[in-house]
Amino acid sequence: MKTDADEKAKKLEEAIGFSHGFDIKKRVLRIGGRRALCYFIIGYTDQLLTEGILSALQKMPVSDAVSLETLLREHIPFGGGEILLSTEAAAEELLRGSTVLTVEGAEGFLILDLRSFSLRGTEEPEKDRTLRGPHVGMNESLISNLIQIRRYLRTPLFRTERILMGKKVKTEVAILSLKGKCDERLLETLRKRLRTAPLPALSMTQENLASILFPQRGWALMNPFPRVRYTERPDVVAATLLEGKIAILCDNSPSAILLPECIFDFFEEADDYYFPPGVASYLRLVRAAVFACSIFLIPIWLLIVQNEGILPDPFRFILAEGDYAVPLFLQFIIIELCLDGLKMASLNTPSTLSNSFSVIGGLLLGEFAVKSGWFVPQTILYSAFTGIANYVPTNYELGYSFKFVRMSLILAVEFFGIWGMLFGCLTWLAVLISTRSVAGKSYLYPFFPWDLKGIAKLFFRFPKGKEWEI
């Protein structure tokens, strides 16, 4: 004879795909003299904690009134728990790793958060290292990342909000902000976009979220400049929240999305605030100068080669000498493409071979390219400099966006000379001026609109850090 517990169990098992999931387990118990069913996923559940709770529940005396509220209040003194009436909601919690308990004669499902699974360590991210300061990073667990960030923001102003995204496959997303600091209208807009996103699943988390947070159409899709910043450092997330911005975390991703961001925010580094103001200001100026050279060095050199007469005799050593089979502009384009190809190859090269392959590839390709007459030494030298300087900002997307700027200027100089250089610079400046952040503000702030105090903060690190801006 089927009972109401069997009916609830049947609906739950259909919702979770119990019949074709060998890692989903069911245990039949008796709690207070009543039949009960417990469902959990192997590897998601803390076995000792689960067995301790179930053992205590089975020792309950026989009672005519066994309610889930009584179990949760009197017999489960530890561990997160809640009662859900919806079968679909209970199935979602079970698939997220919670333990689900049903009791005959009791309405609803008892959800116990007894999750415990293996995690990657919190090592410092490779792309965003610091010489001084905490050497920790985030991992693929949303809760673990949230705990690390809360260690820096032990204040009741710190707000966290969970949203389940995906129509078919649910993924946890968290919005982090500081009450009274962030833009409330922007926060509400982001919340609405995440909740109403019509996507079935959120598998490749970062770019899917970025496209939802900042939807673009038409020619705007061709704009290469990033609108959101990524970081795997909890201290950077905390500092950004203190500035009044918003962070978004996603389960299964070690990166936090920071917004709204202007273009100069991408040049900030954690070391700026772990060094004395004088050293940090020097590093900022060097960073800005090196990155500017990575954009304009090659186009300006091509202009000088086209107009050799304007160059004084003491500086003529920078000109290309001898014969070469490939035009200079094409040499730079080929090297840019080869560098990207080598980067992709290095990502797929086993770590034990990557160092030797990179050294052999750099030496052999550069040496034979010069000896064969394809390239001149200057093109390899300047391309090597720009290739390394492209990593000055920690954001990959920003580095590639300015790579496109550099390549377009090279082509403009080759075919149109000085007028091509001017037109190319003005075109990209117009693109930057017309670009808007996620909040709809200028992408070039504090230069447009002009803010002298903000400009000073870009290049000089003042004795008072970000914590003084609260």
Residues 60, 75: Cα–Cα separation, whole Å: 9
Tell me if 195 sits within 8 A of 213, measured CB to CB.
no
Q: What is the pLDDT of residue 67?
A: 79
**Structural contact between residues 207 and 255, judged by C-beta atoms closer than 8 angstroms:** no
Helix (H, G, I), strand (E, B) or coil at 202: coil
Strands in 229-231's sheet, in edge-to-edge order, are 158-165, 171-178, 246-250, 256-259, 229-231
Question: What's the pLDDT score for residue 465?
Answer: 54
Q: State mean pLDDT over 106-128.
A: 80
Q: Tokens representing 63?
A: 């009672």
Distance from C-alpha of 216 to C-alpha of 302, rounded to nearest angstrom: 35
Interval 327-368: pLDDT, tens: 889 989 988 888 888 777 777 777 655 555 555 566 556 666
Residue 221's Cβ-count burial label (10 Å; 0-12, 13-18, 19+) is exposed
CA distance 399 to 389: 9
Task: Using the predicted structure, report yes or no on whether residue 296 has a pLDDT greater than 80.
Answer: yes
For the stretch 217-243, pLDDT in tens is 777 778 889 888 999 999 999 999 998
The confidence score (pLDDT) of residue 3 equals: 61
Distance between CA atoms of residues 126 and 443, nearest Å: 28
Q: For residue range 57-89, what is the model confidence (pLDDT) as tens digits? A: 777 777 756 778 878 777 776 666 888 888 988
Segment 170-177 shows an average pLDDT of: 91
Give the β-pairing of 171-178 and 99-103. Answer: unpaired
Count the alpha carbons within 13 Å of 322 in the hemisphere toward its beta carbon.
Answer: 12
CB under 8 Å to 216, separation ≥6 — which residues? 223
Torsion of CA 208, 212, 218, 224, to 10 degrees: -60
Residue 450, SS3 per DSSP: coil
pLDDT at 1 over 50: no
Q: How confident is the model at residue 248 (pLDDT cuts 50, 70, 90)?
A: very high
Distances (CA, A) of 103 to 4, 6, 13, 79: 9, 10, 15, 19
Name the token pair of 409.
Answer: 């200027």
**Residue-wise DSSP of 379-403:** HHHHHHHHHHHTTSSS-HHHHHHHH
Ramachandran region of residue 218, left (φ > 0), alpha (ψ -120 to 50) or beta?
Answer: left
